[in-house]
Amino acid sequence: MAREGKTYVKTKIKGINKLRKTLNRLEPEEKAIVQRALAKAAVRIKRDAIGLAIEQDIRLTGDLIRSIEVQRSRDKMTAIIGPSARDARVRKNPFHTGQYASIKQPAAQIRSAEAQWNLMKGWWAEFGTEGPIEQDPQPFMNPAFDMNERALRQEVRRSVNKALKKAALGSK
Protein backbone atom coordinates (compact mmCIF):
# COMPACT_ATOMS: atom_id res chain seq x y z
CA MET A 1 0.00 0.00 0.00
CA ALA A 2 3.03 2.27 0.22
CA ARG A 3 2.95 4.90 -2.47
CA GLU A 4 5.05 3.85 -5.43
CA GLY A 5 3.00 5.13 -8.34
CA LYS A 6 -0.18 7.05 -8.95
CA THR A 7 -2.42 4.10 -9.83
CA TYR A 8 -4.51 2.67 -7.02
CA VAL A 9 -6.88 -0.25 -7.16
CA LYS A 10 -9.85 -0.45 -4.83
CA THR A 11 -9.78 -3.77 -3.01
CA LYS A 12 -11.65 -5.38 -0.15
CA ILE A 13 -9.61 -6.50 2.82
CA LYS A 14 -10.98 -9.57 4.55
CA GLY A 15 -9.52 -10.88 7.77
CA ILE A 16 -7.54 -9.31 10.56
CA ASN A 17 -4.19 -10.72 9.39
CA LYS A 18 -4.56 -9.23 5.92
CA LEU A 19 -5.62 -5.90 7.42
CA ARG A 20 -2.63 -5.97 9.78
CA LYS A 21 -0.22 -6.64 6.87
CA THR A 22 -1.78 -3.86 4.83
CA LEU A 23 -1.55 -1.39 7.70
CA ASN A 24 2.06 -2.33 8.39
CA ARG A 25 2.94 -1.36 4.80
CA LEU A 26 1.57 2.15 5.25
CA GLU A 27 3.70 5.18 5.87
CA PRO A 28 4.35 5.83 9.60
CA GLU A 29 2.09 8.89 9.82
CA GLU A 30 -0.83 6.96 8.27
CA LYS A 31 -0.23 3.93 10.48
CA ALA A 32 -0.16 6.25 13.52
CA ILE A 33 -3.81 7.20 12.89
CA VAL A 34 -4.88 3.61 13.59
CA GLN A 35 -2.41 3.19 16.45
CA ARG A 36 -3.82 6.26 18.23
CA ALA A 37 -7.39 4.97 17.83
CA LEU A 38 -6.45 1.59 19.30
CA ALA A 39 -4.56 3.20 22.19
CA LYS A 40 -7.52 5.44 23.00
CA ALA A 41 -9.92 2.48 22.94
CA ALA A 42 -7.62 0.39 25.17
CA VAL A 43 -7.47 3.17 27.77
CA ARG A 44 -11.28 3.45 27.71
CA ILE A 45 -11.65 -0.30 28.31
CA LYS A 46 -9.09 -0.15 31.13
CA ARG A 47 -10.93 2.78 32.75
CA ASP A 48 -14.28 0.99 32.56
CA ALA A 49 -12.79 -2.27 33.89
CA ILE A 50 -11.40 -0.44 36.92
CA GLY A 51 -14.77 1.27 37.44
CA LEU A 52 -16.64 -2.03 37.23
CA ALA A 53 -14.20 -3.72 39.61
CA ILE A 54 -14.73 -0.94 42.15
CA GLU A 55 -18.50 -1.03 41.57
CA GLN A 56 -18.54 -4.83 42.10
CA ASP A 57 -16.55 -4.27 45.31
CA ILE A 58 -13.66 -6.40 44.05
CA ARG A 59 -11.03 -5.05 46.38
CA LEU A 60 -8.74 -7.85 47.51
CA THR A 61 -6.41 -5.23 49.05
CA GLY A 62 -6.56 -3.08 45.91
CA ASP A 63 -3.70 -4.96 44.23
CA LEU A 64 -6.00 -6.38 41.57
CA ILE A 65 -7.40 -3.00 40.60
CA ARG A 66 -3.94 -1.39 40.54
CA SER A 67 -2.66 -4.25 38.36
CA ILE A 68 -5.15 -3.58 35.52
CA GLU A 69 -2.85 -2.35 32.77
CA VAL A 70 -2.58 -1.92 29.01
CA GLN A 71 0.22 -3.63 27.07
CA ARG A 72 0.59 -2.93 23.36
CA SER A 73 2.38 -5.10 20.83
CA ARG A 74 5.59 -3.95 19.15
CA ASP A 75 3.72 -2.69 16.11
CA LYS A 76 1.09 -1.11 18.39
CA MET A 77 -1.71 -2.81 16.46
CA THR A 78 -2.76 -5.10 19.33
CA ALA A 79 -3.50 -4.32 22.97
CA ILE A 80 -3.79 -6.60 25.98
CA ILE A 81 -5.86 -5.12 28.78
CA GLY A 82 -6.24 -6.66 32.20
CA PRO A 83 -4.53 -7.65 35.42
CA SER A 84 -0.76 -7.88 34.94
CA ALA A 85 -1.02 -7.07 31.23
CA ARG A 86 2.49 -5.55 31.20
CA ASP A 87 3.87 -8.98 32.03
CA ALA A 88 2.13 -10.47 28.99
CA ARG A 89 3.37 -10.43 25.44
CA VAL A 90 1.64 -10.88 22.14
CA ARG A 91 3.05 -13.81 20.19
CA LYS A 92 2.31 -15.03 16.71
CA ASN A 93 -0.10 -17.94 16.69
CA PRO A 94 1.61 -20.97 15.14
CA PHE A 95 -1.58 -21.74 13.22
CA HIS A 96 -1.66 -18.23 11.68
CA THR A 97 -5.21 -17.61 12.88
CA GLY A 98 -4.52 -14.33 14.64
CA GLN A 99 -2.81 -13.26 17.83
CA TYR A 100 -2.84 -14.62 21.35
CA ALA A 101 -1.25 -13.66 24.63
CA SER A 102 1.02 -15.56 26.97
CA ILE A 103 2.31 -14.69 30.41
CA LYS A 104 6.06 -14.42 30.66
CA GLN A 105 7.49 -16.40 33.55
CA PRO A 106 11.25 -15.87 33.62
CA ALA A 107 12.82 -16.79 36.97
CA ALA A 108 14.84 -13.56 37.16
CA GLN A 109 11.85 -11.23 36.88
CA ILE A 110 11.00 -9.66 40.24
CA ARG A 111 7.37 -8.86 39.43
CA SER A 112 6.53 -12.25 37.93
CA ALA A 113 5.19 -13.85 41.13
CA GLU A 114 3.12 -10.76 41.97
CA ALA A 115 1.94 -10.48 38.37
CA GLN A 116 0.91 -14.15 38.31
CA TRP A 117 -0.95 -13.72 41.60
CA ASN A 118 -2.86 -10.66 40.32
CA LEU A 119 -3.69 -12.47 37.09
CA MET A 120 -5.14 -15.39 39.08
CA LYS A 121 -7.13 -13.04 41.34
CA GLY A 122 -8.55 -11.41 38.23
CA TRP A 123 -9.48 -14.81 36.79
CA TRP A 124 -11.18 -15.84 40.05
CA ALA A 125 -13.11 -12.57 40.25
CA GLU A 126 -14.14 -12.69 36.57
CA PHE A 127 -15.20 -16.35 36.42
CA GLY A 128 -15.72 -17.35 40.06
CA THR A 129 -14.34 -20.39 41.85
CA GLU A 130 -15.52 -23.87 42.71
CA GLY A 131 -14.54 -26.33 45.40
CA PRO A 132 -14.19 -25.79 49.12
CA ILE A 133 -14.23 -22.00 48.78
CA GLU A 134 -16.88 -21.04 46.24
CA GLN A 135 -17.05 -17.52 44.90
CA ASP A 136 -19.68 -16.27 42.48
CA PRO A 137 -18.38 -14.64 39.30
CA GLN A 138 -18.01 -10.86 39.47
CA PRO A 139 -17.14 -10.08 35.85
CA PHE A 140 -15.43 -6.77 35.20
CA MET A 141 -13.16 -7.26 32.15
CA ASN A 142 -15.66 -8.81 29.73
CA PRO A 143 -18.38 -6.23 30.53
CA ALA A 144 -15.83 -3.43 30.10
CA PHE A 145 -15.02 -4.73 26.62
CA ASP A 146 -18.71 -5.25 25.82
CA MET A 147 -19.51 -1.66 26.88
CA ASN A 148 -16.90 -0.32 24.46
CA GLU A 149 -17.05 -2.88 21.64
CA ARG A 150 -19.38 -0.98 19.33
CA ALA A 151 -17.53 2.34 19.74
CA LEU A 152 -14.20 0.53 19.40
CA ARG A 153 -15.22 -1.10 16.13
CA GLN A 154 -16.55 2.20 14.74
CA GLU A 155 -13.45 4.15 15.78
CA VAL A 156 -11.06 1.55 14.38
CA ARG A 157 -13.06 1.29 11.14
CA ARG A 158 -13.05 5.08 10.82
CA SER A 159 -9.31 5.33 11.50
CA VAL A 160 -8.47 2.48 9.09
CA ASN A 161 -10.55 4.11 6.35
CA LYS A 162 -8.92 7.48 7.05
CA ALA A 163 -5.41 5.97 6.93
CA LEU A 164 -6.08 4.02 3.73
CA LYS A 165 -7.70 7.03 2.06
CA LYS A 166 -4.76 9.20 3.07
CA ALA A 167 -2.36 6.62 1.62
CA ALA A 168 -4.33 6.40 -1.62
CA LEU A 169 -4.56 10.17 -2.08
CA GLY A 170 -1.08 10.97 -0.89
CA SER A 171 -0.16 12.90 2.25
CA LYS A 172 -2.54 15.84 1.88
Q: Is residue 135 situated within a structural domain? A: yes
pLDDT digits (tens, 9 = 90+) for 95-151: 555 554 554 443 333 356 788 788 888 888 888 888 888 888 889 999 999 999 999
- Rounded Cα gap, residues 48 and 42, in angstroms: 10
Look up the pTM and report it.
0.74
- Rounded Cα gap, residues 160 and 154, in angstroms: 10
- Rounded Cα gap, residues 66 and 84, in angstroms: 9
What is the average pLDDT across 148-172?
83
What's the domain range around 25? 16-169
71 in Cβ contact with 111 (< 8 Å)? no
Domains identified in the chain, total number: 1
Question: Is 155 strand, coil or helix?
Answer: helix
- Rounded Cα gap, residues 163 and 148, in angstroms: 22
CA-to-CA separations, 31 to 38, 153, 161, in angstroms, rounded = 11, 17, 11
pLDDT digits (tens, 9 = 90+) for 77-97: 888 888 888 776 666 555 555
Q: Is residue 20 situated within a structural domain? A: yes
Q: Is residue 98 situated within a structural domain? A: yes
Q: Is residue 1 situated within a structural domain? A: no
Q: Is residue 10 situated within a structural domain? A: no
Give the pLDDT score at 94: 53
Q: Is residue 113 situated within a structural domain? A: yes
Q: Which of 157, 154, 123, 153 is nearest to 138 (CA)?
A: 123
3-state secondary structure 47-69: HHHHHHHHHCCCCHHHHHHHCEE
pLDDT digits (tens, 9 = 90+) for 33-44: 889 999 999 999
- Rounded Cα gap, residues 20 and 77, in angstroms: 7
Q: Is residue 69 situated within a structural domain? A: yes
Q: Is residue 126 situated within a structural domain? A: yes
